């Protein structure tokens, strides 16, 4: 079920009301049932896959904790293989098979391996990574194995973050399921404010920009002028930020209402003064996952230079691959690896505010590949922009397109001004709640009216659902 | 908890009051561009009309008020008609327009309303947009819910799903969901020519002139015209479909709650000294929805122009613009036939 749907609003109200009405000891069961319902609203049968990985990892955690030395590692490897195996089959099988076909054709052979016609289970990349984080932390001794099967299942399936993160660490969230969270007016208010902020970003900004981006990136019109392609690419930078961070805000807000604190996943990434800083502000839960479980175990930066650069390139390329089974995602990730390596090679360490537009341009260039439907499309778009970056042929488009361009620009300006005002010294909800009565209520009413009057309610999926 | 509930109610009330306040400044068809424009032109420049045609594109593009009035004048009747037909405007939207018109004090004597099946399944492409939400009010929401619930051909799950979507749409209209885009787009569009035509041609605009003057671009008139020209045999499918209507009329005794609504509207018009006629148009894609109007078929004020055996000219390629509609020549014939049938029913009062 999408967050931006009438169904979810009803679901949230019912589940939250029942949550506070029920005695504490039954709440885990309510949340687990609600999370199952939430997940099954997409493709019901795929809950079996979730169930499979939950059972494997639950027992793996217990046996890892009980075992010594070699057997400990064996259970960890078994758990990782199960999770990565599920990802490999559902997400990467056809991609790998397609590339194998290309290779075999290149040497004059036919690929006998059939393609699979399967849908990608929603949120697969997120919950498998969260599950792997659990078994790794148990193995490292940082987390005790969870004995309560229901609580462990809830750790994997907790509905606010089930399908698009943040990817939580067991140490931060498991203990929270054992705490009693009473209804607290201030906390609930802040949770709802955070959700409203998320809905604003998703419905008013992201989905508005999507109309322009989808039109250009799907149709690749020949006579629009490079300026329109450039506009669409810049729009996509903000679309993906608002879509994904908006989802995270709604997830954090929904969890906060019930008393759970999820990790912050975004921190104004477009004010970064370096690519390194960008990755400390963008999809924080994923970048820290890759840092802790891939980059550092590979040696991180505590190795010889060439190996360090290799670690960076590999980590970021795999991060790209995590997003999807397409070369464009891998190129995007690889490009960010290159962005990090070049200052290291050239020994550049400037972090001035002048870098902010440069980092934005680099990030936007990367997003071009991320959004393009193929490498051929990406190259075409770059050529269009390069040919005539200041040419805007709106005559080739409908009034609807023009309307969305204008509203899109307005939405971006509003976003930037709002972030500068509200997020300068903390979160939106804390800042909004700090005002006196009249300005505070003006904010409440304004954000709701902005969402209603300027929002797009066509039930557009969140971009990160496809990962 | 009590403090939270009270403040939530207060916040909702403030937002509600603001939305209700905004509604004072917008027309009843705020999400439908053509309906809003025609409504405005009618009220500002043609409010003295005593004959109104209401319905979808099968009224809008098929009835020529000037031709109608000149035929009436020859026979000594004084009609001053206006075509309020609008693209994509079947029941229940058209019935809401009729409802509003009847409530107004004015000079209208004759209402000709297209009788269409009640479209209770929302198109996925326009759900939750002003394009769909705009027409909902409490009365029509209830009517629509009752209609859906009364359908024997729908399962319970489907009925609940549809009613839920309609409730959502009603709330969407109430809170003016997505209205900003609609208003900006209206201001950016250049529809001066179309509005002038509404005034000059009393609401009628032929497909040919719209295509020539590049009006109604979003309806892809050129595409539809060319597609039909490439294969006019599609008309045969429409003919076969129209012939089924005879079967639906005979073999059903089903009455949608809308039939009661129509009867009430007819009574209201009669109480004001007027007459209400219902028109069944030709060339619909599907006539199965007409099985829910059993009582209507017994009424005198029903004008059925759908029968390909009685009106073969409405199913000829030479009189057609696209598969569902007549061209200018066809519209002239349609207007003549309509007038004739009204005469045959002694519909006019001198």
Tens digit of each residue's pLDDT (9 = 90 or more) over B263-283: 999 999 999 999 999 999 999
Q: Which residues 10-69 of A have a C-beta within 8 angstroms of B?
A: 20
Kindly state the percentage of chain B with pLDDT values over 90: 60
User: pLDDT tens, B68-88?
Assistant: 999 999 999 999 999 999 998
How far apart (Å, rounded) are the C-alpha atoms in residues A454 and A203?
A: 8
- pLDDT over 90 at A112, yes or no: no
> CA gyration radius for chain A?
23
Mean pLDDT across chain A, nearest whole number? 92
Mean pLDDT of A321-349: 90
How far apart (Å, rounded) are the C-alpha atoms in residues A42 and A31?
A: 18
pLDDT at A440 (0 to 100): 94
- pLDDT over 90 at A123, yes or no: no
Q: Do B181 and A454 lie within an 8 Å CB cutoff?
A: yes
User: pLDDT tens, B294-309?
Assistant: 888 888 899 999 999 9
- pLDDT over 80 at A350, yes or no: no
CB neighbours of residue A42 within 10 Å: 16
pLDDT-derived band of residue A352, with 50, 70 and 90 as boundaries?
A: confident
pLDDT at B130 (0 to 100): 83
Buried b (16+ CB within 10 A) or exposed e, B188-201: ebebeebeebbeeb
pLDDT at B82 (0 to 100): 97
Mean pLDDT of A272-278: 93
Mean pLDDT of A16-39: 94
- pLDDT over 70 at A465, yes or no: no
pLDDT at A81 (0 to 100): 95
Distance in Å, alpha carbon of B176 to nearest chain A alpha carbon: 6
Quick one: tokens of A170?
Answer: 């067991």
Taking every pair of Cα atoms in chain A, the longest distance, rounded to a whole number of angstroms, is 75
pLDDT at B349 (0 to 100): 75
Residue found under tokens 């020859």: B74
Mean pLDDT across chain B, nearest whole number? 91
Of B18, B168, B178, the CB nearest to A6: B168
Residues of A with CB below 8 A from B1's CB?
Answer: 20, 183, 185
Residues of A with CB below 8 A from B168's CB?
Answer: 6
- Comparing A424 with A148, the larger pLDDT belongs to A148
Pairing of strands B325-326, B320-322: antiparallel
**Which residue of A lies nearest to B189 if distances are taken between CA atoms?**
A399
How far apart (Å, rounded) are the C-alpha atoms in residues B163 and B307?
A: 33
- Strand, coil or helix: B45: helix
Distance in Å, alpha carbon of B138 to nearest chain A alpha carbon: 19
Mean pLDDT of A33-56: 92
Distance in Å, alpha carbon of B130 to nearest chain A alpha carbon: 10
How far apart (Å, rounded) are the C-alpha atoms in residues A172 and A170?
A: 5
Mean pLDDT of B209-220: 82
Lowest mean pLDDT across A232-236, B128-132, B278-282:
B128-132
Q: Which residues of B touch A (CB under 8 A)?
A: 1, 3-4, 11, 14-15, 18-19, 127-129, 164, 168, 171-172, 175-181, 184-185, 188-189, 217-218
- For A14-64, give the secondary structure using H, E and C: HHHHHHHHCCHHHHHHHHHHHHHHHHHCCCHHHHHHHHHHHHHHHHHHHHH
- pLDDT over 70 at B147, yes or no: yes
Rounded to 10 degrees, the C-alpha dihedral A270/A271/A274/A277 comes to -90
- pLDDT over 80 at A164, yes or no: yes
Q: Do A457 and B172 lie within an 8 Å CB cutoff?
A: yes
Of A6, A399, A441, the CB nearest to B185: A399
User: pLDDT tens, B101-119?
Assistant: 999 977 899 999 999 988 8
The residue among A409, A449, A461 with the most chain B CBs within 10 A of its CB, best to mutate, is A449
Cβ burial of A113 (10 Å; 0-12, 13-18, 19+) is exposed
pLDDT at B271 (0 to 100): 92
For helices B179-188 and A399-422, angle between their N-to-C axes, nearest 10 degrees = 130
Residues in chain A: 467
- pLDDT over 70 at A21, yes or no: yes
Q: Do A458 and B127 lie within an 8 Å CB cutoff?
A: yes
pLDDT at B121 (0 to 100): 87
pLDDT-derived band of residue A395, with 50, 70 and 90 as boundaries?
A: confident
Residues of A with CB below 8 A from B177's CB?
Answer: 452-453, 455, 457
User: pLDDT tens, B174-212?
Assistant: 899 989 998 898 888 888 899 999 999 999 999 999 988
What is the distance of C-alpha A197 from the center of its chain? 17
User: pLDDT tens, A219-230?
Assistant: 898 888 999 999
pLDDT at A467 (0 to 100): 67
- Strand, coil or helix: B51: strand
Of A188, A445, A448, the CB nearest to B4: A188
Of B3, B180, B218, the CB nearest to A454: B180
How far apart (Å, rounded) are the C-alpha atoms in residues B347 and B165?
A: 40
Mean pLDDT of A56-71: 91
pLDDT at B190 (0 to 100): 80
pLDDT at A234 (0 to 100): 97
Quick one: tokens of A391?
Answer: 């040419």
pLDDT-derived band of residue A117, with 50, 70 and 90 as boundaries?
A: confident
Residue A462 is given by DSSP the state: P
pLDDT-derived band of residue A459, with 50, 70 and 90 as boundaries?
A: low
Whether cis (ω within 30° of 0) applies to the bond prior to A166 is yes
Residue B255 is given by DSSP the state: B
How far apart (Å, rounded) are the C-alpha atoms in residues A135 and A141?
A: 10
pLDDT at B189 (0 to 100): 85
- Strand, coil or helix: B30: coil
Q: Which residues contact B233 (CB under 8 A, 6 or more apart)?
A: none
- pLDDT over 90 at A255, yes or no: yes
Of B3, B184, B217, the CB nearest to A403: B184
Mean pLDDT of A100-116: 87
Lowest mean pLDDT across A83-92, A429-438, B246-255, B329-338:
B246-255
User: pLDDT tens, A399-425?
Assistant: 889 999 999 999 999 999 999 999 988
Kindly state the percentage of chain A with pLDDT values over 90: 75
- pLDDT over 80 at A462, yes or no: no
User: pLDDT tens, B12-47?
Assistant: 999 999 999 998 888 888 888 889 999 999 999 999
* ipTM of this complex prediction, to 2 decimal places: 0.84
What is the distance of C-alpha B161 from the center of its chain? 24
Is A383 near chain B, with CB under 8 Å?
no
- pLDDT over 90 at B288, yes or no: no
| Dihedral pair phi/psi, residue B53, rounded to 5° | -110, 125
- pLDDT over 80 at A3, yes or no: yes
A323 as an active site residue: the answer is yes
Contact call for residues A212 and A231 (beta carbons, < 8 A): yes
């Amino acid at each position: 079920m999408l967050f931006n749907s009438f169904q979810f609003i009803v679901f949230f109200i019912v589940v939250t009301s029942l949550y506070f009405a029920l005695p504490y000891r039954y709440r885990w069961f309510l949340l687990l049932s609600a999370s199952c319902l939430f997940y099954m609203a997409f493709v019901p049968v795929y809950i079996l896959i979730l169930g499979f990985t939950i059972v494997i990892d639950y027992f793996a955690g217990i046996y890892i904790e009980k075992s010594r030395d070699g057997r400990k590692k064996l259970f960890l490897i078994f758990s990782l293989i199960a999770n990565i195996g599920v990802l490999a089959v559902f997400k990467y099988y056809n991609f790998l098979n397609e590339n194998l076909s290309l290779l075999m054709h290149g040497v004059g052979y036919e690929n006998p391996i059939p393609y699979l016609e399967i849908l990608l289970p929603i949120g697969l990349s997120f919950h498998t990574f969260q599950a792997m984080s659990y078994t790794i932390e148990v193995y490292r001794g940082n987390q005790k194995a969870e004995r309560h099967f229901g609580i462990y299942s809830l750790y994997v399936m907790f509905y606010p973050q089930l399908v698009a993160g943040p990817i939580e660490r067991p140490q931060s969230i498991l203990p929270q399921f054992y705490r009693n969270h009473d209804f607290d007016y201030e906390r609930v208010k802040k949770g709802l404010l955070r959700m409203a902020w998320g809905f604003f970003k998703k419905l008013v900004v992201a989905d508005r920009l999507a109309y322009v981006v989808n039109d250009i990136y799907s149709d690749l019109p020949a006579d629009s002028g490079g300026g329109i392609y450039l506009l669409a690419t810049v729009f996509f930078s903000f679309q993906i930020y608002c879509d994904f961070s908006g989802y995270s805000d709604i997830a954090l807000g929904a969890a906060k209402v019930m008393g759970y604190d999820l990790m912050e996943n975004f921190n104004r990434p477009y004010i970064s003064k370096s690519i390194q800083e960008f990755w400390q502000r963008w999809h924080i839960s994923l970048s820290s996952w890759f840092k802790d479980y891939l980059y550092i175990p590979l040696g991180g930066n505590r190795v010889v230079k060439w190996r360090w650069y290799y670690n960076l390139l590999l980590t970021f390329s795999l991060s790209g691959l995590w997003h999807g089974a397409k070369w464009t995602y891998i190129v995007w990730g690889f490009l960010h690896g290159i962005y990090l390596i070049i200052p290291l090679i050239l020994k550049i360490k400037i972090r001035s505010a002048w870098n902010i537009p440069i980092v934005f341009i680099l990030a936007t260039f990367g997003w071009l590949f991320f959004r393009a439907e193929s490498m051929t499309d990406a190259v075409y778009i770059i050529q269009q922009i390069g040919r005539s970056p200041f040419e805007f042929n709106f005559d080739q488009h409908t009034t609807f397109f023009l309307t969305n361009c204008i509203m899109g620009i307005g939405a971006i300006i509003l976003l930037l001004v709002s972030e500068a005002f509200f997020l300068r010294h903390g979160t939106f909800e804390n800042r909004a709640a700090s005002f006196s009565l009249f300005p505070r209520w003006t904010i409440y009413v304004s954000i709701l009216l902005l969402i209603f009057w300027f929002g797009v309610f066509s039930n557009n999926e969140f971009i990160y659902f496809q990962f | 908890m009590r403090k939270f509930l009270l403040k939530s109610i207060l916040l909702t009330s403030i937002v509600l009051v603001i939305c209700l306040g905004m509604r004072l400044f917008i027309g009843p068809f705020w999400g439908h561009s053509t309906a809003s424009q025609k409504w405005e032109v009618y009220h500002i420049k043609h409010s003295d009309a005593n004959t109104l045609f209401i319905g979808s594109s099968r009224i809008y593009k098929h009835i020529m008020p000037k031709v109608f009035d000149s035929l009436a004048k020859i026979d000594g009747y004084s009609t001053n008609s206006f075509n309020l037909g609008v693209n994509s405007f079947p029941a229940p939207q058209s019935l809401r327009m009729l409802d509003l018109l009847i409530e107004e004090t004015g000079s209208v004597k004759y209402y000709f309303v297209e009788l269409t099946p009640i479209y209770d399944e929302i198109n996925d492409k326009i759900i939750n947009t002003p394009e769909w939400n705009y027409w909902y009010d409490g009365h029509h929401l209830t009517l629509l819910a009752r209609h859906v619930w009364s359908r024997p051909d729908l399962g319970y799950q489907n009925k609940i799903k549809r009613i839920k979507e309609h409730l959502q749409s009603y709330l969407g209209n109430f809170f003016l969901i997505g209205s900003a885009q609609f208003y900006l787009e209206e201001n950016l569009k250049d529809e001066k020519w179309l509005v002038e035509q509404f005034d000059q041609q009393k609401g009628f605009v032929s497909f040919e002139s719209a295509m020539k003057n590049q009006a109604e671009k979003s309806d892809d008139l050129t595409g539809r015209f060319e597609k039909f020209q490439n294969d006019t045999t599609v008309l045969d499918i429409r003919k076969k479909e129209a012939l089924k209507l005879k079967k639906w009329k005979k073999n059903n005794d089903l009455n949608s709650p809308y039939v009661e609504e129509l009867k009430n509207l007819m009574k209201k018009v009669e109480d004001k000294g007027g007459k209400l006629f219902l028109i069944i148009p030709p060339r619909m894609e599907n006539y199965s929805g007409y099985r829910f109007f059993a009582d209507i078929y017994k009424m005198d004020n029903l004008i059925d122009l759908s029968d390909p055996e009685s009106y073969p000219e409405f199913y000829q390629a030479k009189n057609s613009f696209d598969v569902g509609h007549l061209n200018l020549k066809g519209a002239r014939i349609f207007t003549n036939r309509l007038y004739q049938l009204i005469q045959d029913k002694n519909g006019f009062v001198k």
